[in-house]
Amino acid sequence: MFRTIREDIQSVLDRDPAATGTLAVLLYPGLHAVWIHHLNHWLWRRHLRLLARYLSQVARFWTGVEIHPGATIGRRLFIDHGMGVVIGETAIIGDDVTLYHGVTLGGTSLEKKKRHPTLGNGVVIGNTSSVLGDIVVGDNSRVGAGSVVLRDVPPNSTVVGVPAHIIYRDGERVLITDPHEIKDPLSDALIALAKDVGELRSRLDKISQLTETAHVDGCVADLAQEDDERRSYRSEFDKSGFADYGAGI
């Protein structure tokens, strides 16, 4: 127990630049919530579930962090600020994970099964983000603030947005060229708009080609008419019997 406490305190000192010392860290509500959860989880596994639920609600009142006693939490979890954090019953959290305030590890199913997310080691979840459903966030991945994660996240990735999509993977920028990859509620509208723009461009190209062809044809027709008029004039001029005395000079 004392080793775990020392590890938790040191993890805060390593990850929070605002931490000024051990005594200051001992006031962190996120640490209190994690330590009380260790006791509540122990009670939960021994089927003292009513007591575990009661103590979890007491911890929620004092810390602002709600952790279900059934959640499985690894070592050195750091909940920064903590207010508004919610961790569901079947959530699994690896080692060295950081959660900022307002994070929700929630479920999307009413069935009594694994319905909450699994976070790998070294994961960082930004403030007010939601990770929903029985999905996996891979090791060393990061979730941007305000994001909603609905799909699995590969290891060593950074995701942002609503719903979240990958912008970095293994340190390299990921460019999204297909709106289907985002699966945003507005994706269908963007896809339809892109289709309409493509059709309009195609029609405009056809109209431009027809206009250019008509212009060329018109110029050719004008030249042909001018040649006809010139030949007709010369023919009439020749019939008039006019002698060109300067032709032999």
- Which pLDDT tens digit goes with each residue over 77-98? 999 988 999 999 999 999 999 9
Mean pLDDT of 153-174: 89
80 in the same domain as 141: yes
β-pairing verdict for 66-67 and 86-87 = parallel
Q: Residue 140 — pLDDT band, cuts 50, 70, 90? A: very high
216 in the same domain as 165: no
pLDDT at 249 over 50: no
The domain boundary, picked from 175, 190, 220, lies at 175
The domain boundary, picked from 123, 148, 175, lies at 175
51 in the same domain as 129: yes
189 in the same domain as 124: no
pLDDT at 5 over 70: yes
| Region of poorest pLDDT, from 33-37, 44-48, 99-103, 178-182 | 178-182
Q: Residue 52 — pLDDT band, cuts 50, 70, 90? A: very high
Helix axes 29-45, 2-15, angle to 10 degrees: 140
Structural domain including 203 reads 178-239
Mean pLDDT of 118-122: 95
73 in the same domain as 50: yes
Mean pLDDT of the chain: 85
pLDDT at 246 over 90: no
98 in the same domain as 17: yes
The domain boundary, picked from 175, 197, 221, lies at 175
The pLDDT tens digits of the residues spanning 170-206 come to 888 877 656 556 666 666 677 778 788 888 888 888 8
pTM for this predicted structure: 0.71
pLDDT at 227 over 60: yes
Q: Is the four-CA dihedral 13, 17, 23, 29 of positive or negative sign?
A: negative
Between residues 162 and 68, which one has the greater pLDDT? 68
Q: Is the peptide bond before 155 cis (omega within 30 degrees of 0)?
A: no
Judge whether 166 and 142 are in contact, CB under 8 Å: no
190 in the same domain as 168: no
If one counts the domains in the chain, the total is 2
